[in-house]
Amino acid sequence: MKDKSGHSWAEPYKIKMVELLRMTTREEREAAIREAGYNTFLLRSRDVYIDLLTDSGTSAMSDRQWAGLMMGDEAYAGSENYYNLEAAVQEYYGYKYLVPTHQGRGAEHLMSQIMIREGDYIPGNMYFTTTRLHQELAGGCFVDVIVDEAHDPGSDHPFKGNVDLAKLEKLVQEVGADHIPYISLEGCVNMAGGQPFSMANLKELNAYCKKHGIPIMLDATRTIENAWFIRRREEGYAEKSIREILREICDLTDGCTMSAKKDLLVNIGGFFACNDEELFLKAQNMVVVYEGLHTYGGLAGRDMEAMAQGLREAVMQEHQDARIGQVRYLGVHLRKAGVPIVRPIGSHAIFLDAKTFLPHLDQDQFPAQTLAAELYLEAGIRSMERGNVSAGRDPETGKNRKPALELVRLTLPRRVYTQAHMDVVVEAVAGVYERRETIQGLKMVYEPEYLRFFQARFEPLQ
């Protein structure tokens, strides 16, 4: 894979320690997936060969991050690592105030409870599972305002994460800006296939929101990756650094929630950050109820140190070139094999288009769930459903939401797998694709109340 100047990229690190993988037989995998109720979330990690379930908390830390663990100041209050993290967040993201949380949803919980009142509407550039649930639990209602192209897996729009200002304006007209506590803006939109928003779109959004007094709260989880796409694709940004672009994004927003388990290369961690002092004081007070004292928020001191160092590494150009380059490598080769994937190739994962892959299955036979189970059976590769199961039921009608996108996500942990692993994944997906017509769907036999995709169980239909 070549960069713009025609050079191949390579990993900007060498490997110091390895973790051995266990190979399984087809019979062992058949037993394992049956035991797991055909839900890849319920598989045991030891039964998985290449784990592409998620990029959340699965990255490889650097020697410097591991060294940071040894620098953990495990004081209950006022840990030195908290101040190091605060300084790093202020420097790279630019927000004034920081409240650490154990992970992203901890921050979402605080922000939703503080900012949303019963009956409010929260527009966003596509939902995210935990984000929307916390909005709903706080009495709010999520409204999708992403551009239409984001719902079309065949569209090559370079910024499918953009907000459709007309959709936002329609909502403001209908419910009034008073009932919109903030707009939730996600970078490299996960559920759309890791698709970025453009700086031009954010500038327009910022101008619109200023006019109506609506804060922009960033879901900063993959915003550094979003900055990489702006640099690559948007006019006028080729000469700017990822660091500068990240800062420009944050300066156009009012605060953020963060799952540091993604961009920031740590196994656990998150935070809420903002510029408004009143909001900060509320979050700082609430965190002691749900997470821990405001200088550790459910984390060990060492976790905060690893996060601060991870942030310094995440903004490095060569890191993101390799990270996103590896995702591209996988996507390009799958496309060459004729496999239908979401276009264009996004930041953190390849999304197989299960509706096109298994056109003979009805959406209520869970084509994406079925495909994820088949891929595990084929080669021990673990992926994740992002379709009808993840979307859940409409709270009003109780019916399956049946989203336009029915996807299987092959998510790449950062700095973990090699290019040879990617070749194995391509061969396995191509193998399932070849026998696709023989594949039967699933029926759901156990459905938990919240975030059902994590724990639902299935059985084969035939």
Ligand X SMILES: *Cc1c(COP(=O)(O)O)cnc(C)c1O
Residues lying near ligand X in the complex (CB under 6 A): 56, 103-105, 128, 130-131, 186, 190, 219, 221, 259, 261-262, 270
CB of 135 to ligand X, least distance (A): 12
> CB-wise, 286 or 379, nearer to ligand X?
286
> Which residues does 170 contact at the CB level (< 8 Å), separation at least 6?
none
> CB-wise, 55 or 374, nearer to ligand X?
55
Q: How many CB atoms lie within 10 A of CB 178?
A: 12
Is 247 one of the catalytic residues? no
CB of 348 to ligand X, least distance (A): 8
Q: Which residue is nearest to ligand X (CB)?
A: 104
Q: Are 97 and 273 in contact (CB under 8 A)?
A: yes
CB of 190 to ligand X, least distance (A): 4
Q: Give CA–CA dist 84/78, Å, rounded.
A: 11
| Listed residue (108, 103, 106) closest to 124, CA to CA | 108
Q: Are 276 and 270 in contact (CB under 8 A)?
A: no
Q: Which of 262, 282, 302, 415 is catalytic?
A: 262
CB of 261 to ligand X, least distance (A): 5
Q: How many CB atoms lie within 10 A of CB 119?
A: 10
Q: Which of 142, 272, 453, 458 is catalytic?
A: 453
> CB-wise, 298 or 301, nearer to ligand X?
298
Q: Give CA–CA dist 84/1, Å, rounded.
A: 37
Q: Are 10 and 418 in contact (CB under 8 A)?
A: no
Q: Which of 92, 127, 128, 159 is catalytic?
A: 128
Report residue 382: phi and psi, to 5°: -100, 125
Q: Give CA–CA dist 456/188, Å, rounded.
A: 27
Is 329 one of the catalytic residues? no
- Write out the two tokens for 285: 């007070």
> CB-wise, 220 or 422, nearer to ligand X?
220
> CB-wise, 340 or 392, nearer to ligand X?
392
Q: Give CA–CA dist 65/319, Å, rounded.
A: 15
> CB-wise, 186 or 291, nearer to ligand X?
186
CB of 262 to ligand X, least distance (A): 6
Is 128 one of the catalytic residues? yes
Q: Which of 51, 164, 219, 303 is catalytic?
A: 219
Looking at residue 334, its amino acid is L
| Listed residue (75, 66, 62, 101) closest to 269, CA to CA | 101
- Write out the two tokens for 203: 């500038």
> CB-wise, 104 or 387, nearer to ligand X?
104
CB of 33 to ligand X, least distance (A): 24
Q: Give CA–CA dist 362/343, Å, rounded.
A: 23
Q: How many CB atoms lie within 10 A of CB 144?
A: 16
Is 159 one of the catalytic residues? no
Alpha-carbon dihedral sign for residues 97, 101, 107, 113:
negative
Is 240 one of the catalytic residues? no
CB of 15 to ligand X, least distance (A): 26
Is 386 one of the catalytic residues? yes
Is 129 one of the catalytic residues? yes
Q: How many CB atoms lie within 10 A of CB 163?
A: 24
Q: Which residues are catalytically annotated?
A: 76, 128-129, 219, 262, 386, 453
